[in-house]
Amino acid sequence: MATETKEAQATLSAAYPRSARINARGAIEVGGCDLGQLARELGTPAYVVDEQDLRSRARAYLDAAQRVGLPEVAVAFAAKAFPCTAVLELFAAEGLWCDVASGGELALALAAGFPAQRVILHGNAKSRPELERALEAAIGLIVIDNFDEIARLGELVGRRSDGEQQRVLIRATPDVAGQTHAKISTGQADSKFGFALEDVPAAIEAVRATPGLQLRGLHAHIGSQILSLEPFGAIAEALAPFAPMPVWDLGGGLGVAYSADQQPPAISDHVATLAASAREQLGEHELLLLEPGRALVANGCVTIYTVESVKRNVSLYVAVDGGMSDNLRPMLYGARYEAALVERPGGECECVVAGKHCESGDIIVPHARLAEPRAGDILCTPATGAYTFAMANNYNGALRPPVIFCAEGTARVVCRRETEQDLLARDVR
Ligand code: LLP
């Protein structure tokens, strides 16, 4: 056993789920399930989730929040990162709150069992039906993004007969650059999200003047996949002119390791930094909210594929049975992933792991090192829990992959693979 563990540590980087190891057969396993066997039993492509990994990261957040003591820190899972009901149920059971960004995510969060009071609704273009649904469900907080929304929400709460007030936050654009990819940086001044800092006082006044709305505090989110703590400390500083407020929501954004060379800050340090900056900059408050998405789910999942062909066209192309339909991130953001053959991890053969879609840009890993790949091999890419299932699509008629939870050697499908009937299901004849 001891040698196996050592070998696993030598071969599998921090990008893999916590339980990932190389078993006696020399194959990668996750949650005690052999990925090669899993592929043969349940098919590929598939998202394989280490259930315990997700739980342990939720607990890392909650433990760190507990250590902060008072004022209370609550942790909301950003549902957009992995909007699979079973994932939401797991985090609801762990005691997290839930951040949703649309009516659809709101429906998922409620169906997964989050108490409505622990749900926070975001969005820069919330529709009337979305707001109505949020009021009807009596969710904890609505995060107001713009003046039109104050008017729309004011009108809707004005019609209520129960006299209940809706608690709201105001989203500010803090002018703190997230130091990340431009497409996922949200805190800069020229952004489609939130109120410009100079408009925040007028927004506060407008909300306070609206009967039926109760202003609880402010929110800012600076971006995603942020690998240093420094920009996080700056959020509270930017919001300080609006203190005191009972509630501060400082968003998500903590980065993760997609490959061996990336070293994200620890969850505990992330929480401690935000809590300390809130205490120093924002003075007395009742509640600090954090909204991690990626940091809770990215590393707990690997995607498994079958290699369909291997050929040399200058580069050695290893083509698999998935691609931009199950992981859009390499194409959208130039995101980097690792790859390994699950039954022969390691190896030095330089190759390009390509998807099956009709686009030259459908490359999953441009510089992979594999052990002599052959058609029929099972290949995995680790750290695919965040924004992959979430952004999966049916390009080229691809059937979106299942989600398989693995724990203690048992695998269970928690979201089935799409079928051709699903592709036809919306047709009206
Ligand atoms: N809170 C708010 C208001 C957000 O907009 C987001 C993410 C989060 C929390 C969670 O951020 P996280 O902890 O996951 O960084 N599709 C992109 C990421 C988009 C993030 C959108 N907002 C990607 O694949 O990298």
Whether 358 is catalytic is yes
What is 335-353 written as a DSSP string? -----EETTS----EEEEE
Confidence at residue 184, expressed as pLDDT on a 0 to 100 scale: 63
Which residue has its alpha carbon closest to ligand 1 atom 23? Answer: 387
Confidence at residue 187, expressed as pLDDT on a 0 to 100 scale: 66
Domain boundaries, the chain: 6-50+298-424, 52-297
Confidence at residue 178, expressed as pLDDT on a 0 to 100 scale: 61
* DSSP-H helix ranges across 138-179: 147-158
Mutation pick for ligand 1 pocket among 288, 294, 389 (CB with most ligand atoms within 8 Å): 294
Angle between helices 267-282 and 51-68 (to 10 degrees): 30
> Is the pTM for the entire model greater than 0.85?
yes
The neighbour count for residue 318, using CB atoms within 10 Å, is: 27
What number is the average pLDDT over the span 129-141?
97
What SS3 class is residue 283? coil
Distance 225 CA to ligand 1 centre (A): 8
Higher pLDDT, 250 or 179: 250
Preceding amide of 45 cis, omega within 30: yes
% of the chain exceeding 70 in pLDDT:
95
Distance 291 CA to ligand 1 centre (A): 9
Provide the CATH topology of domain 6-50+298-424. Answer: Lyase, Ornithine Decarboxylase; Chain A, domain 1 (2.40.37)
The answer on pLDDT for 6 being more than 50 is: no
Q: Check if the beta carbon of residue 397 is closer than 8 Å to that of residue 422.
A: no
The answer on pLDDT for 177 being more than 90 is: no
Asked if the domains 6-50+298-424 and 52-297 are classified in one and the same CATH topology, the answer is no
The answer on pLDDT for 173 being more than 70 is: yes
% of the chain exceeding 90 in pLDDT:
90
Q: CA 320 to CA 302: how far, in whole Å?
A: 15
Burial class for 376, CB neighbours closer than 10 Å (0-12, 13-18, 19+)? exposed
What number is the average pLDDT over the span 193-197?
95
Ligand 1 atom showing the smallest separation from residue 225 Cα: 15
Ligand 1 atom showing the smallest separation from residue 226 Cα: 15
Ligand 1 atom showing the smallest separation from residue 387 Cα: 24
Q: CA 12 to CA 156: how far, in whole Å?
A: 53
Residue 278 phi/psi, 5° resolution?
Answer: -65, -45
Distance 101 CA to ligand 1 centre (A): 10
What number is the average pLDDT over the span 90-110?
98
CATH superfamily of this structure's domain 52-297: Alanine racemase (3.20.20.10)
Q: Model confidence over 353-378: pLDDT tens digits?
A: 999 999 999 999 999 999 999 999 99
Q: Model confidence over 35-56: pLDDT tens digits?
A: 999 999 999 999 999 999 999 9
Which residue has its alpha carbon closest to ligand 1 atom 16? Answer: 387
Q: CA 361 to CA 2: how far, in whole Å?
A: 42
What number is the average pLDDT over the span 390-415?
98
Q: Categorize the per-residue pLDDT at 26 as very low, low, confident or very high, splitting at 50, 70 and 90.
A: very high
CA-CA-CA-CA dihedral for 87, 89, 92, 96, to nearest 10: 0
Q: Indicate the helix (H) or strand (E) that contains 232.
A: helix 230-239
* DSSP-H helix ranges across 294-415: 294-297, 329-333
Confidence at residue 402, expressed as pLDDT on a 0 to 100 scale: 99
What number is the average pLDDT over the span 262-281?
97
Confidence at residue 160, expressed as pLDDT on a 0 to 100 scale: 83
Q: Categorize the per-residue pLDDT at 4 as very low, low, confident or very high, splitting at 50, 70 and 90.
A: very low
What number is the average pLDDT over the span 275-282?
97
Q: Which of 84, 301, 349, 358 is catalytic?
A: 358
Task: Identify the residues whose C-beta falls under 6 Å from ligand 1.
Answer: 78, 81, 99, 122, 184, 221, 224-225, 251-254, 291-295, 329, 333, 387
The answer on pLDDT for 231 being more than 60 is: yes
